[in-house]
Structure 1
Amino acid sequence: VSVSVGSAGSFLYQRADTEPRIPASNEKLLLSMALLDSLGPGRRIVTHAATASLQGGVIQGNLWILGRGDPEITAARMAALARHLVAAGVQKIRGRVMGSTGYFGHDWWARGWKRHRTRLYVAPPTALTFQGNVVNGRFTREPEAFAARSLTKQLERRGVAVVGRAGAGEPPEGLADVATIRSRPLRSILAAMDRPSDNFFAEVLAKLLGAKSAGLPGTIAKGAAAIREWVAGHGVDFSLYDGSGLSYANRVTTRGIVQLLWVADASTWGPVLRQALATGGQGTLENRLHGVKVRAKTGSLDGVSALSGWVWLDKEEAWTEFSILSRGMPKWIASSIEDGIVRTLADNAG
């Protein structure tokens, strides 16, 4: 077990704090920091409906849905996009509604991922998403076409005639927006990712970060590199290969995580990050740490456990940063150790 506890830039306790450990979903904590610092808490992700030709209410060719990495697009959001298109004067589409397969690569693999876990724990992370890229309880390899079919149905319900069948592909150049929809602010998306530890959200958002940092197309590797670069920019050296923490090749230290939590504390977005994390009785802490004022990110892989974040010290009237990473013990034992450390910190401060 590795443990680091720090407050106001000073370490209060350290045990094996420089030992490289697998972070599991504590990787999402690092991703959240990089996203908040790079994009800002209020950033909204825009999805575009675009075409090459709209004349007199008629789209002469195809209507393209251009995704840009919003992981939360649902049927209700597609209905809103259809309403916006009708309000823009669209009455007929002579071609098809097409979901763009561009902007992100179609990679669904990272170094250190176990294939059986990939198929079980994360849907294909695409730039255009729909319903978490899940169809009838199974991950779909064609989420863009899935999204296009949904928009086609929504348009037809509103009296728009669509001649061709929905599909997906690479969009042409020269498209112009007809309508758009915007995501919730990044702060809200991160809470939806971090509290339940959503792997799909993490890989989509990491690809978005990678696209912004290293150019198109966004890939899992570019996303991981962007997180590594952000971490290194604050004097911490981690080995990171994905955005979700599913990789067994990822390596971090508790010392480094606490140092990065100090960076968050010194940033305007620090309180936003803290609020995005689960507290006792919530999300992945649903059955843990009840009655403790804590904001933390859990992590769990086979034989790996993690808990990092903040615990409130009443005596100091301040948050104290902590990170606990372990390997090679049953999950229930690791969780008991983590909870015991956090409760000890909270109780001794009272």
Structure 2
Amino acid sequence: MKRFLLLLAVVAAPLYAAAPAGFDDDEIALWAAPVEGGGEFEAHRADAAVNPASTMKLLTSWAALNRLGPNFRWQSEFKTTAALVDGVLQGDLYWLGRGDPRLDSARLTEMLRQLRLRGVRDITGRLLLDQSAWQGIGTAEGFGGDAERVFTVAPHTHQLNLKVAWLRYRFDDGRPQVALDPPLPGISVDNRLQLGDGASCGDVRRFVTVAQQGARLIVSGRLPPACDGAANYVNLLDSNEFAQQAFAALWQQLGGSGPRGLALASTPPGARSLLRWDSADTLASVLVDMNKYSNNTMARSVLLTVGAQYPASGNTLADGERSLRGLLAERGLPQQPLTLENGAGLSRRERVSARLLGEVLRDALRGAYGPELAASLPLAGEDGTLKKRLGEVGGSLRLKTGSLDNVRALAGYWQAPSGQRLVLVAIVNSARAERLTPQLDAAVAAVVARYQARLAAAAAGGL
């Protein structure tokens, strides 16, 4: 009888009455619940409104999978009202962008190659960017000091290479060389590199210094031969200029000439289509990059795409949020506490509760697109932002990380070898959040260990 009562006590593990070890009571919010079955397993301040940092991307992913489907593709299109005579487009070319978050130089090159195959050789008019797909992209305020960092790049209907160019290094007769990829006609590269020593390269930024002076990039340093083939990125130009210059450079590489200038304009109703192109990547593929490596620009683009596909108010971000909140209502999930600024977690304003985020995760894993969401999450100790964390936890632990000043977060699920799954959300809001990262990992590992004990007790007791 005593053995049975002990097993029953373990199986019916009490909810948290106090914060996990190492935390003050108001520093952490935690919620854990089984996917198979109802109820909760453990909770602490689960209904408090907290800043989730990048774990907010899970809410955006869930909404996008349900509203767009995992096989959704972004479409780009080139149109014109001008005549095409003997390979010469006698007027402007309209480029309708719809926010493909994975559009890069290789994919744009293939689009332009197809345009060449359709008979266009020379564009005598301008390249006109049609940005009408999005009206209102939202904000990410409070990051002014990081304005030049890649993680703050705003979404754009014509986002190319996430608005970064690559400096690619090679050696020619023993001399270090550097080239900009894609080549941008308005940017010159001043190569001041010298031959350096070293048997290995690693991060090439250890050896080079890049300075921008107007339209000139000055690249200096001592580059060892081991860095042949290495690359690092630079954030250049605004999105409109970047798209136009990359288009022109790639077009010329394909033997085309023009266009003559850039402008922003909506495509006239009577324009005819020269090329319609679906993105190479599906939504499910984009979510893998977005969540494993916590890409803010992609996340913001995904929520805007939901809004563009479900227009209602004329403000694309507001329509994305409206669609997300509508999905919460449809699934019988609470809409509060929830404050959205951009859906990426790159925000000082966004708020959610550990319970709401956890219930969304549980709904996702029980639904048709649970495998797609799960596959997008970093695997502890293996890849993405969890490559060097929590690898010692047994079973399959997949968690989205979140990191901002005063915020550290983990949210996802653990799967036992026997198949049972546990949703986990742990969010730290504290001035000492960064220092508490080891305690956060320990708290999550401890919840998993207690749930393992519950499963073992249930199996042993035949419950």
Q: TM-score, normalised by structure 2?
A: 0.69
- Which of 212, 228, 240 does residue 144 from structure 1 map onto? 240
Deviations 1:238-272 (A, max 9, x none): 22222111222222111111211121122111110
* 2: CA distance, partners of 1:226 / 1:161: 43
Aligned residue number for residue 354 of structure 2: 254
- Which of 334, 338, 343 does residue 236 from structure 1 map onto? 334
| 8 A contact 2:80–2:271 mirrored in 1 | yes
Residues 116/16 of structure 1: CA separation in 2 closer, same or farther (3 Å cut): same
1:95-106 aligned at under 5 Å gives the runs: 95-105=125-135
Percent identical among aligned pairs is: 27
1:228 deviates by 3.4
* 2: CA distance, partners of 1:113 / 1:158: 42
* 1: CA distance, partners of 2:283 / 2:380: 23
Q: Secondary structure at the match of 1:296?
A: strand
- Which of 289, 298, 304 does residue 192 from structure 1 map onto? 289
* 2: CA distance, partners of 1:227 / 1:157: 43
Q: Secondary structure at the match of 1:10?
A: coil
* 2: CA distance, partners of 1:250 / 1:155: 41
* 1: CA distance, partners of 2:255 / 2:326: 49
Q: Secondary structure at the match of 2:339?
A: coil
1:151 deviates by 2.1
Amino acid at match of 1:202: A
Q: Secondary structure at the match of 2:352?
A: coil
Amino acid at match of 1:130: L
Q: Which moved more, 1:282-291 or 1:226-235?
A: 226-235
Amino acid at match of 1:223: G
| 8 A contact 2:53–2:402 mirrored in 1 | yes
* 2: CA distance, partners of 1:146 / 1:51: 22
Q: Which moved more, 1:272-281 or 1:282-291?
A: 282-291
Deviations 1:145-180 (A, max 9, x none): 322322222222222232523x13013312222123
Deviations 1:85-144 (A, max 9, x none): 01112122221223333322465625x644335554311211111121235723543x23
Aligned residue number for residue 61 of structure 2: 32
Aligned residue number for residue 65 of structure 1: 95
* 2: CA distance, partners of 1:273 / 1:113: 29
Match status 1:172 vs 2:267: yes
Q: Which moved more, 1:225-234 or 1:300-309?
A: 225-234
1:291 deviates by 4.1
Residues 346/313 of structure 1: CA separation in 2 closer, same or farther (3 Å cut): farther
Match status 1:323 vs 2:425: yes
Amino acid at match of 1:29: L
* 2: CA distance, partners of 1:156 / 1:217: 37
Amino acid at match of 1:260: V
Match status 1:295 vs 2:377: no
* 2: CA distance, partners of 1:210 / 1:147: 23
Match status 1:211 vs 2:308: yes
Q: Which moved more, 1:153-162 or 1:123-132?
A: 153-162
Aligned residue number for residue 116 of structure 1: 145
Count of aligned pairs between the two proteins: 346
Match status 1:10 vs 2:28: no
1:17 deviates by 0.9
* 2: CA distance, partners of 1:77 / 1:334: 42
| 8 A contact 1:223–1:242 mirrored in 2 | no
| 8 A contact 1:99–1:145 mirrored in 2 | no
Q: TM-score, normalised by structure 1?
A: 0.90
Amino acid at match of 1:228: R
1:206 deviates by 1.7
* 2: CA distance, partners of 1:291 / 1:180: 48
* 2: CA distance, partners of 1:187 / 1:216: 27
* 1: CA distance, partners of 2:82 / 2:43: 63
Q: Which moved more, 1:61-70 or 1:327-336?
A: 327-336
Deviations 1:278-302 (A, max 9, x none): 1113211122011432111111111
Aligned residue number for residue 185 of structure 2: none
Amino acid at match of 1:272: E
- Which of 307, 311, 323 does residue 414 from structure 2 map onto? 311
Deviations 1:170-224 (A, max 9, x none): 1331222212332201111011111111111111222212222235866444434
1:32 deviates by 0.4
| 8 A contact 1:25–1:197 mirrored in 2 | yes
1:24 deviates by 0.9
Q: Secondary structure at the match of 2:351?
A: coil
Amino acid at match of 1:271: P
Q: Secondary structure at the match of 1:11?
A: coil
Q: Which moved more, 1:61-70 or 1:151-160?
A: 151-160
Amino acid at match of 1:145: E
Q: Secondary structure at the match of 1:214?
A: coil
Residues 38/341 of structure 1: CA separation in 2 closer, same or farther (3 Å cut): same
Structure 1 unmatched runs, 5+: none
- Which of 438, 441, 447 does residue 339 from structure 1 map onto? 441
* 2: CA distance, partners of 1:108 / 1:258: 25
Match status 1:22 vs 2:51: yes
1:51-90 aligned at under 5 Å gives the runs: 51-56=80-85, 57-90=87-120
Q: Secondary structure at the match of 1:5?
A: strand
Aligned residue number for residue 12 of structure 2: none
| 8 A contact 1:304–1:327 mirrored in 2 | yes
